[in-house]
Amino acid sequence: MLVPIHKLTEDIPCKQRLDDLHTYFKSQFETEPDFFIRVPGRVNIIGEHIDYCGYPVLPMALDQCILLAVKTNPSDHFLQLRNINPKFENYKCDLTSFNIDLPQSGTGPEWYKYFLCGVKGVFENITGEFPKIGMYVALSGNVPPASGLSSSSALVSSATLATAYAYNISLDKKNLASISAQCERYIGTQGGGMDQAIAYLAKKGCAKFIEFHPELQASSIQLPSNAFFVVANSLAEINKAATSDFNQRVVECRTACRILSKKLGFNNWREVFRFASLQSRIGCSLEELERLADKEFSKENYTRADVLKELDISDQDFNDNFLTPNTLHMDSFKLRQRALHVLQESLRVWNFKSTCEVNSNESSCLQKLSDFIGQSHSSLRHLYECSHPSLDYLVDISKEFGIGARLTGAGYYLLF
Ligand code: ADP
Ligand code: NG1
Ligand code: MG
């Protein structure tokens, strides 16, 4: 949401935080902001680690959000960033020449690099040379960072929206979501677009069924009126850009998909790296694709040599064209487990959606939804191996009370 300062009314959401940010902005820059931006975090109800395979997901927006106060300054070309949380350092750069260089390992990228992703994403969508305009920006965020609730994408998406508005670029919400999804990859992770899509396309009072293939589409899903969703923090944090875990899973999925595509004799198997594309290319059902993966991937573990043999390519080709900078070391691939998770989880999303649509007010409905959520966690824990002992503990306690619970986001968080 974008609010010019003259429309800052009393009934606007987050009014107190906006007032505090307004005061902070003035104390930092000794001037008034031109506009405010609000972008929510999200909780994904079901459909985990499948967006980057092209399959639909079912998230909803949270109240927790990133707020920005922004003033443009046409008389210079500097970006100046301040964060109301003193833990995050001030930042200034020249918008005519900046780059997003990433740390080699260890801690994740500095917070302002997520903002730069959004700026870069918009700049890339402006054709030809254009004058750079300075921007003063103050940020206030209360999405718990590195916890699976999409604080990173709320931050990147807020930067995209702020930059597009500052530069008077007219883009619709779907375009903004797609640009934000693409440019967040400059932070080093190969995400799928769920977080940025819900950031822009969420509607109050419902979840969204978000499709990516063949193009971005969001439809509202009415959840049962007698259902409660609780988001609990396991307190285990992971910065997705600080380790290669996230990208390793993406690479395993892409590799599995390419191997199936090659086995099926598709000449362009290199380009068919998302299961959703493979499925429409074959023209089969999810169940049929699952049976194919089950049949073709019989090993628990594939070595690098196994993969090279299956694809009939050289080590150099594999490194250059199929791996990411932080997955070059990979020499073991759990193709079977990752493929089965993706295809079964995708089926659960469709079943969850149709259960909500068909009998949303029957008591049996809640039990069914709860079961899907429980199965999703079990799959993420055992097949996708992205859970955490603290999370499993919370899920196990919930089970004792007959409540379906699962992690949400890339890992390390909980929902029921
Ligand atoms: P998430 O699951 O929350 O998206 P990520 O690992 O993708 O986790 O991104 C977390 C990173 O996003 C943080 O380490 C920080 O760099 C940045 N971030 C999130 N919220 C804020 C904030 N309020 N202020 C500054 N940076 C933030
Ligand atoms: P989080 O954990 O919020 O960073 C990540 C990806 C999503 C999706 C989920 C797993 C990004 C920006 N986000 O979310 O696209 O793949 O993990 O379902 O990469
Ligand atoms: Mg993130």
DSSP codes joined into one string, 222-271: PPPTT----EE-------TTTSSHHHHHHHHHHHHHHHHHHHTT-TTTTT
| Residues contacting residue 267 through CB under 8 Å, at least 6 positions apart | none
The answer to whether 88 touches 114, Cβ cutoff 8 Å, is no
Query: What are the residues whose beta carbons fall under 8 Å from the beta carbon of 16, sequence distance 6 or more?
Result: none
Looking from the CA of 263 toward its CB, the CA atoms found within 13 Å total: 16
Question: For residues 372 and 375, what is the distance between their CA atoms, to the nearest angstrom?
Answer: 5
Active site residue 195: yes
Describe the crossing of helices 335-359 and 286-296 by its angle, rounded to 10 degrees: 160
Residue 107, both tokens: 């801690």
Q: What six digits make up the tokens of 73?
A: 């300054």
Write down the catalytic residue from 51, 101, 195, 396. 195
CA-wise closest residue to 132 among 92, 158, 163, 171: 163
Which ligand lies nearest to the CA atom of residue 188 in the structure? 2
- How far is the C-alpha of 158 from the C-alpha of 119, rounded, in Å? 10
Task: Report the C-alpha gap between 153 and 42 in whole angstroms.
Answer: 9
Cα 381 to averaged position of ligand 1 atoms, centre (Å): 23
Ligand number nearest CA of 246 is 2
- The residue written with tokens 């940010």 in the block is 21
**Per the structure block, which two tokens stand in for 11?**
């009934």
CA of 350 to the centre of ligand 3 (A): 24
CA distance 334 to 252: 7
Q: What is the number of other CB atoms lying within 10 angstroms of the CB of residue 8?
A: 15
From residue 158, alpha-carbon distances to 11, 175, 195, 358 in Å are: 21, 14, 12, 36
Position in ligand 2 atom list of the atom nearest CA 44: 18
Ligand nearest to the CA of 147: 1
| Mean pLDDT, each 10-residue run in order, the chain (416 residues) | 72 88 98 96 98 98 97 96 98 95 81 98 92 96 94 98 95 97 96 97 96 96 91 88 93 98 98 98 98 98 98 98 96 98 98 89 85 97 95 94 93 50
Residue in the structure block whose two tokens are 């993706």:
342
Q: Which atom of ligand 2 is nearest to the CA of 47?
A: 18
Question: Which atom of ligand 1 is closest in space to residue 410's alpha carbon?
Answer: 2
Residues with CB under 6 A from ligand 1: 83, 85, 88, 108, 111, 114, 139, 141, 143, 145-153, 155, 239-240, 409
Phi, psi of 58 (to 5 degrees): -135, 70
pLDDT at 236: 87
Which element (helix H / strand E) includes 414? strand 414-415
Contact 81, 58 (CB under 8 A): no
CA–centroid distance, residue 320 to ligand 1 (Å): 29
Q: What is the pTM (predicted TM-score) of this model?
A: 0.95
> Which helix (H) or strand (E) element contains residue 334?
none
CA distances from 406 to 246, 307, 387 (A): 18, 32, 9
Give the distance (Å) from ligand 2 centre to CA of residue 34: 32
